């Protein structure tokens, strides 16, 4: 009876919709489900054609369509059946128009029923691959005994089994999947049976589609050669390397004539070249840097050979300047590249302005897309001018002189020559908005001694991040940062102001603005030689492209080397909003100071509020 009444209401609504369907005047305001427990409601929504309209004025609007909604009721049952709930049924739905009759709320009630569970998983006929790899495959298969039989996971397991064979020299392998139901119909045994076929090796390599890029440039990026055992993973790695050159709009590597099942597999590399010269111009705004203007020119085939060169200029209230860069890929070996950078860059902190003019040469080894190490040599001139309000405090003048201030010019000047080493490793799924995995970064450098200059110090820093998915929509993100600068002879004049540590701002301790967490001089932050910070952030998708976060940040900067003291940490908490866009999430955070920095001056006056607003693009970390 309830369903019949609902259908009558739906028919009345449909009559109204028919007349306005072309104009689309009845928007879907809300779509909710009752009885959904076993599956994720967000995944169910994304599978339907009927969708909620965006709440923001410029967001996309979805309009009610009777035939589409009827089809969705069937899609719900099919969706559940694919996830191991063949008895799931739509038992009712409510349709409610608002008073203006231009929006509708839809409520669907579902009886999920009992699932069909996986009783056993058999993997047979895989003797062609090493036992250790077979055991690893069994552990990685997403299907689990005792869980509902999800057809998507069955397909994923099937593809994983196929790929394992193709990664051990069997490009023509086949895998069949068989399901055997138990007597009660609620248990099933899934069996994957392999037919490895002929073992094969890479054959001749054909390259097509390139025009200005030489064949040798493409061949040197390939991680296989004729005679090597066929492996699907190194074909994919070679394809990623070709895209990484940024020379091609399209790159594909595939075997020729696979139907012949030859023991020697000829390969074809197909590419389509893109525009080698690119110009980007951007205008933005952030709560810390205010207005920002940037322009960039990049040539990805400079002088041929896949070399790249570019220029980048930027202007904001916090930093501005120009940088030139050059990169030579395949520096004697496939995994090595040589990069050069020259810059003149201005940085504005509350206590002083720094100008860095110089160059850097970097040799990078990239073992795979997620792991790299690099050595570098830097030669630059650093000049820092102290703010007049700090110089006006005679009690601080001797301290500034001890830090390297020239009392005759009120500046710090010197030549910085340094050797550096960097290591990075990442398993994160997305650098802009990670949901799982981790990232590690380590940096160390020595200035002076081996490459003499005005400044002499040893510095190291590390950054570790971890992303733990709690479910499809919630991620716990964690970060720890530590850094230290040790001047030779414990003479602070050996460290330039431009290398000092600061915290605060949109990407660190968010209860303060950028550069505001640091040792003070006359109430203004002047930076320090040691730093420690950590952050915990709970990220959740709320509705559509909207998400929210709750965060806890902590950290501090100490004037002396190895001055880390946990009891001195500054803490901030707060909420945030996220809106997903193709270029990353738009971010708005509000950070509140739990223990303010005494005597801190902001814009020349004692700070009057314990909270900061932050507006930016991309996650905080």
Domain boundaries in the chain? 2-111, 117-195, 203-273, 330-502+533-551+571-587
Tens of pLDDT, residue by residue over 409-464, are: 778 899 999 999 999 999 998 888 899 999 999 999 999 988 999 999 999 999 99
Query: What pLDDT is recorded for position 396?
Result: 62
Tokens of 420: 């550096």
What's this model's pTM, rounded to 2 decimal places? 0.75
CATH 1.10.260.40 applies to domain 203-273: no
Q: Exposed/middle/buried for 507, CB within 10 Å: 0-12, 13-18, 19+? A: buried
How far, in Å, CA of 412 to CA of 503, rounded?
A: 22
Q: Exposed/middle/buried for 257, CB within 10 Å: 0-12, 13-18, 19+? A: exposed
Handedness of CA 148, 154, 155, 157 (dihedral sign): positive
Q: Which CATH superfamily is domain 2-111 in?
A: membrane protein fhac (3.10.20.310)
Query: What pLDDT is recorded for position 2?
Result: 44
Residue 175, beta-bridge partner list:
194
Query: What pLDDT is recorded for position 24?
Result: 62
Q: Alpha carbon 373 to chain centroid distance?
A: 20
What CATH number does the domain located at 117-195 have?
3.10.20.310
Query: What pLDDT is recorded for position 398?
Result: 65
For the chain, residues with pLDDT lower than 50 are: 1-23
- The CA-based angle 604-608-614, given to 5 degrees, is 90
Domains 117-195 and 330-502+533-551+571-587 share a fold: no
Which element (helix H / strand E) includes 151?
helix 151-166
| Start-end of H helices in 167-226 | 215-219
Query: What pLDDT is recorded for position 282?
Result: 83
- Given the candidates 1.10.150.120, 2.40.160.50, 3.40.930.10, 3.10.105.10, the CATH classification of the domain at 330-502+533-551+571-587 is 2.40.160.50
């Amino acid at each position: 009876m309830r369903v019949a009444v609902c259908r009558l209401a739906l028919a009345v609504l449909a009559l109204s919709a028919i007349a306005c369907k072309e104009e689309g005047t009845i928007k879907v305001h809300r779509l909710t489900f009752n009885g959904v427990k076993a599956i994720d409601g967000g995944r169910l929504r994304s599978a339907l054609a009927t969708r909620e309209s965006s709440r923001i004025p410029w967001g996309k609007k979805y309009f009610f369509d009777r035939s589409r909604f009827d089809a969705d009721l069937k899609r719900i049952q099919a969706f559940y059946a694919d996830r191991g709930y063949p008895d799931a049924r739509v038992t009712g739905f409510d349709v409610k128009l608002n008073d203006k009759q231009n929006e509708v709320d839809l409520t669907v009630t579902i009886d999920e029923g009992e699932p069909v569970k996986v009783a056993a998983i058999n993997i047979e006929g895989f003797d062609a691959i090493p036992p250790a790899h077979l055991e690893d495959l069994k552990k990685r298969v997403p299907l689990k005994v005792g869980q509902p039989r999800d057809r998507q996971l069955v397909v994923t397991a099937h593809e994983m089994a196929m790929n394992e064979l193709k990664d051990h020299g069997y490009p023509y392998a086949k895998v069949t999947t068989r399901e055997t139901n138990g007597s009660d119909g609620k248990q099933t045994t899934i069996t994957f049976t392999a037919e490895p076929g002929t073992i094969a090796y890479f054959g001749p390599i054909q390259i097509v589609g390139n025009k200005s890029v030489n064949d040798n440039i493409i061949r040197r990026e390939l991680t296989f050669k004729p005679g090597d055992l066929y492996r699907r993973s190194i074909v994919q790695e070679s394809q990623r390397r070709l895209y990484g050159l940024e020379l091609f709009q399209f790159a594909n590597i595939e075997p020729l004539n696979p139907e012949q099942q030859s023991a020697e597999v000829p390969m074809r590399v197909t590419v389509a070249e893109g525009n080698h010269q690119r110009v980007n111009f951007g205008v933005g705004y952030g709560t810390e840097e205010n207005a920002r203007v940037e322009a960039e020119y990049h040539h990805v085939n400079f002088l041929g050979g896949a070399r790249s060169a570019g220029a980048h200029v930027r202007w904001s209230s916090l930093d501005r300047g120009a940088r030139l860069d050059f990169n030579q890929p395949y520096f004697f070996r496939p995994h090595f590249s040589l990069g050069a950078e020259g810059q003149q860059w201005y940085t504005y902190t509350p206590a002083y302005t720094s100008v860095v003019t110089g160059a850097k040469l970097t040799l990078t080894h990239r073992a795979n897309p997620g792991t790299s190490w690099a050595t570098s040599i830097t030669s630059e001139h650093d000049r820092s001018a102290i703010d007049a309000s700090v110089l006006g405090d005679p009690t601080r003048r001797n301290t500034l002189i001890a830090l390297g201030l020239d009392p005759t010019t009120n500046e710090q000047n010197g030549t910085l020559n340094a050797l550096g080493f960097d290591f990075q490793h990442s398993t994160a799924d997305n650098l802009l908005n990670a949901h799982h995995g981790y990232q590690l970064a380590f940096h160390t450098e020595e200035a002076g001694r081996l490459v003499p200059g005005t400044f002499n110090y040893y510095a190291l820093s590390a950054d570790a991040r971890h992303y733990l998915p709690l479910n499809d929509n919630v991620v716990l993100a964690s970060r720890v940062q530590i850094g230290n600068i040790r001047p030779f002879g414990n003479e602070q004049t050996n460290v330039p102001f431009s290398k000092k540590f600061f915290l605060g701002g949109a990407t660190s301790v968010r209860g303060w603005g950028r550069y505001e967490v640091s040792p003070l001089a006359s109430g203004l932050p002047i930076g320090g030689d040691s730093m420690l910070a950590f952050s915990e952030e709970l990220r959740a998708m709320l509705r559509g492209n909207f998400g929210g976060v709750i965060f806890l940040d902590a950290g501090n900067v100490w004037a002396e080397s190895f001055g880390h003291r946990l009891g001195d940490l500054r803490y901030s908490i707060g909420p945030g909003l996220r809106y997903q866009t193709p270029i990353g999430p738009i971010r708005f955070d509000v950070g509140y100071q739990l223990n303010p920095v005494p005597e801190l001056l902001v814009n020349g006056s004692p700070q009057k509020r314990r909270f900061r607003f932050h507006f930016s693009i991309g996650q905080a970390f």
